[in-house]
Amino acid sequence: MVYDTVIIGAGIAGATLAYTLTQQNQKVLVLDKNGIASGGSGAAGAFVSPKIGKGSPLQTLTNEAFTYAKEFYLSTCPEHFHQTGVIRIPKDDLDAGKFAEYEKFNDTAYEIYTKEKLQSLGINVSLDSFYFPDAGDCDAPKVCEYLLKDIEVLKYDVDALCKENGLWLVGEYKAKNIVLATGHESNLADLRYMGIRGTWGTRGDFSSALDLNVSMHQSMSVGANVNGIIKLGATHEKEVKEVVPCSDEIALSLKEKASLLIETADLELKEVFCGMRAGSKDYFPLVGKVIDVPFMLENYPKITRGAKTELQYIDNLYVLNGLGGRGFVFAPLMAKMLVEHMVKGKEIDKRVNPDRLMYKWARKVERQM
């Protein structure tokens, strides 16, 4: 059988892409060496909430993605998206001063929750905060599983890509297109110019009877009590290079940290999730074609000295990656963008097109030679 597209990676990026492609009647196969949501997506707190700030391009894109994502989850898998609202709490008095500057850039529905309002909800905070009522969080693995429920998914460790008669060969499988949604592992093509980097995260799920109906984020995330479970996470460790066993100790340290916000006496650790999330150099997602880096360096060596020329791509090879800690916010809109490009020929949004990183990286290569 020849597939229209083989997607490598079954996290939230690969799952939303597969789902969106099948809505365009594409025959899709998803491959992942460890199964659905087995990496950073499965460990995510999976908050779907806006970004606050002073109106930066990244904030603008994030909030576009948030608006699209919440409607996507509500219409597609509402049973796995808990629209509890999310409170963004300043870290300290200095941060609270910044919130006053951020307020005019809040372009999604919000309210000011005073310290009195917060304390009435059982949140031990003395700083006024933003409350975003349309926000919430996903059951991370369940969302990925739901999106892939009618799609062929196989556990398969892809170690190489090759082409034969114009088709991609992945083991015994053939496809017109390949999409790399592999997260921090990016060894199937030369993606050095994209600067993909991993951040290790841990989430602890705790049983509790605490009456907590809203989610919150300060220097950590605390999920609302949903079906007797409160999710605490996620830690962010940038120096972790290899996947390591999940640690109860780290999850319990999250409980101790959460005690500064909520009453944690009855929280009992039930399960720990951990995994590596993938981000880019500039924190924008990576969506689009893959440049043929070896060909460019060999045939256009002057690009390492600042010259620009027409970029050459690997035919029918695409990437959907670099979603960072906001994977469940970015994934639906980024999948839509890539599908519109692959199926309808629509140009990729320049903000997320990986081409933006090529020339700067090439000049860095020259300095290292």
Rounded to two decimals, the pTM is: 0.94
- Do 191 and 285 reside in the same domain of the chain? yes
Q: Last residue of a domain, which of 222, 257, 275? A: 275
pLDDT of residue 369: 44
- Do 188 and 300 reside in the same domain of the chain? yes
Q: How many residues does the chain have?
A: 369
- Do 288 and 361 reside in the same domain of the chain? yes
- For residue 85, being part of any structural domain is answered with no
- For residue 222, being part of any structural domain is answered with yes
Total domains in the fold of the chain: 2
- Do 350 and 229 reside in the same domain of the chain? no
The tens place of each residue's pLDDT in the chain, 369 residues long, gives 899 999 999 999 999 999 999 999 999 999 999 999 988 887 788 899 999 999 999 999 999 999 999 999 999 999 999 999 999 999 999 999 999 999 999 999 999 999 999 999 999 999 999 999 999 999 999 999 999 999 999 999 999 999 999 999 998 999 999 999 999 888 899 999 999 998 888 999 999 999 999 999 998 999 999 999 999 986 666 655 666 678 899 899 999 999 999 999 999 999 999 888 899 999 999 999 999 999 999 999 999 998 999 999 999 999 999 999 899 999 999 999 999 999 999 999 999 999 999 999 999 875 554
- Do 153 and 19 reside in the same domain of the chain? yes
- Do 291 and 355 reside in the same domain of the chain? yes
Q: Last residue of a domain, which of 233, 251, 275? A: 275
- Do 267 and 292 reside in the same domain of the chain? no
Q: Last residue of a domain, which of 275, 290, 322? A: 275
CA atoms of 167 and 174, how far apart (whole Å): 6
Q: Return the CATH number at 29.
A: 3.50.50.60
pLDDT of residue 267: 97
Provide the β-strand partners of residue 321: 286
Could you give the 3-state DSSP secondary structure of residue 97?
helix
- For residue 212, being part of any structural domain is answered with yes
pLDDT of residue 38: 86
- For residue 57, being part of any structural domain is answered with no
Placement of tokens 């599908």 in the chain:
339
* Domain boundaries, position 212: 206-275
In the chain, beta strands by DSSP E: 2-8, 28-32, 47-48, 81-82, 86-88, 111-113, 129-132, 136-138, 152-155, 162-164, 167-170, 173-180, 197-207, 215-217, 221-222, 229-233, 268-279, 286-291, 313-321
